[in-house]
Amino acid sequence: MSTLTDADRQILPVAIRSHGGFHLASEWYCNWTPLADQWAFHQIDIPNVTWLGGIACGKTSGVARSYLIDCLSIPYFRALNTSVTSVQAELVFEMVMSDIEGNPRLEHLIEDISLRPYPSIKFKNFSEWDFRTAGKDARFIRGKEYDRLNYDEAGLDYEGLSLKTLRGRLRGKRPDQTIRMARMDVTTSPTDAPWLRERFYKGVKGRMGAQLDIYRSLRTTIYQNTHLTQQQIALMEADYTEEMADVELRALFPDYGMTTFPRGHVDACTEMDLNDTAEVALRGDPPRPGYRVDDHHRYGIVHFEVPRNPTGTYVAFGDPGTGDPPKRNAPCVIVVRSDIKPMEVVYFDWIFGHGSYMPFLRSFKYALDTYYPAIQGIDSTGTQKAIEELAFENEGILVNGINFQRDKEAMINALSIMITTHGIKWPVIKGLLSQVRQYRREDDKVSNRQPQDIVMTLAGIAHLCRFLPDEVNREVKYQRGHDRRVRTRHNVPRRR
């Protein structure tokens, strides 16, 4: 390349993996020094690498700089960063862009950066780096051959079928006739996906069935990130129960034991097609209206929304609260379309209350005004009884208040039947799956500390849906005036 500077000619040759100069290249081009596991992740010369990491352990920054140095130092190199959701797939892009923009040591090595239909970086040495969602069974990853790909947060793909398709993309030769690297990286926080546990232990020395010639595994905890202060770590610890901290901070596989909802049935209710539909709609030119996906970098999807079908029948339920995800007492609103089987989650809002009930009320009212549910309810247990009154007086919302203390067992039973008969489907939402998978009927103080607001919202939906066969309750009446809709209260019949 004629654009190479004298510094490039010195540093890029030693950046080649076999020369062990990754840290020198990352310090020069990114002003970034790798931690021990970040350096090891790059230097591993094995075709299958699994990296389990706690939050803020440095996985994303390690992936970003490792792939960047490969693209810079290997001509015609093709790289891919993919995930279940586009936001997760693009986190690495956002990080590497912070390295590139305004950096005179890097900008002259970049040929082009495009955002549509998905982010992509082209380098002067003809290397390319794509960032896009995989889709169900990696349906969106077709037509290209890659040297190296990273499946980010792969643990959310509980079937793991995408790995077979992705492995098929790692093949061939580069235009200069050198053989492609064919390395597949799986970087994720631990989940109970069986394929992930199996893959990880294949790369661990001393484990039965280990295949260290083609697999290598790393486990990195938040406590290994020396760039974090003890106070910062303590604040993150405060967000999690001990069981959640094992997974999210210590990168240990979860052990949910005898939970209420069997894993196989939860898997059957999880439908990545719903994520893919929203992805295609949001990536359209122009994007289709009515779709919205908010993906928190740490907690996953916190808002998911698809447009209302004018012929559909909807049910809405809200669990009030003033907390923030992922803690207990974080409010939640869910709407399902109930006239199709299985019924489908069309609105999910895991709300940051910031100490106030108003964010919950705003979300709940928005859901009612958007989907015109045939029946709607909120938890009116204890102190939350006031929320039902506040909703009526301040927001003009009429709801069916449900007493969780009295009806909880029946509601959980209704949800259990709905899940085990596969009567509902939801998109891949990390917080929802985590709570449903680990939920146990409360019988001690330990389980009482586990966040379960999403589960209770789903249980409220399941409870209300029991009354839908009555056609009287399907009818929704509106009184319009001065751009304000007032709903009539629906009489929920009592079960005998």
- Which range (49-58, 120-129, 133-142, 441-450) has the least confidence? 441-450
Average confidence (pLDDT) over 285-310: 94
Task: Indicate whether 20 pLDDT > 50.
Answer: yes
Query: What pairs with residue 215 in β-bridges?
Result: 48
Calpha distance 218→226 (Å, rounded):
17
DSSP 271: -
- Give the dihedral sign, CA 321/316/275/87: negative
Residue 179 has a CB neighbour count (10 Å cut-off) of 10
pLDDT of residue 403: 63
Alpha helices of 153-255 — where are they, by DSSP H? 162-167, 194-202, 230-237, 242-248
Which one has a higher pLDDT value, 169 or 262? 169
* Residue 342 DSSP label: S
> Using an 8 Å Cβ cutoff, are 417 and 235 in contact?
no
As a whole number, mean pLDDT of residues 313-340 equals: 94
User: Residue 471 pLDDT more than 60?
Assistant: no
Round the average pLDDT of the chain to a whole number and report it: 88
Domains of the chain as residue ranges with CATH: 6-248 (3.40.50.300), 263-487 (3.30.420.240)
Does pLDDT of 334 surpass 60? yes
- Phi then psi for residue 132, to 5 deg, are -160, 160
At 99, which helix (H) or strand (E)? helix 86-100
Residue 478 has pLDDT above 60, yes or no: no
Please give the Cα distance from 443 to 445 (Å, whole number): 7
What is the pTM (predicted TM-score) of this model?
0.83
Q: Is residue 477 over pLDDT 60?
A: no
Q: Residue 76: which of 126, 16, 145 has the closest Cα?
A: 126
Determine the Cα–Cα distance for residues 160 and 167; give it in Å rounded to an integer: 12
What's the pLDDT score for residue 12? Answer: 96
Output the pLDDT for position 483: 33
Number of neighbouring beta carbons within 10 Å of residue 485: 13
pLDDT tens, position by position, 377-391: 888 765 555 666 666
Q: Which of 339, 331, 342 is nearest to 274 (CA)?
A: 342
**pLDDT higher than 90, residue 271:** yes
> 46-87, pLDDT tens digit by residue?
999 999 999 999 999 999 999 999 999 999 999 999 999 888
Instruction: Quote the tokens at residue 208.
Output: 């039965």
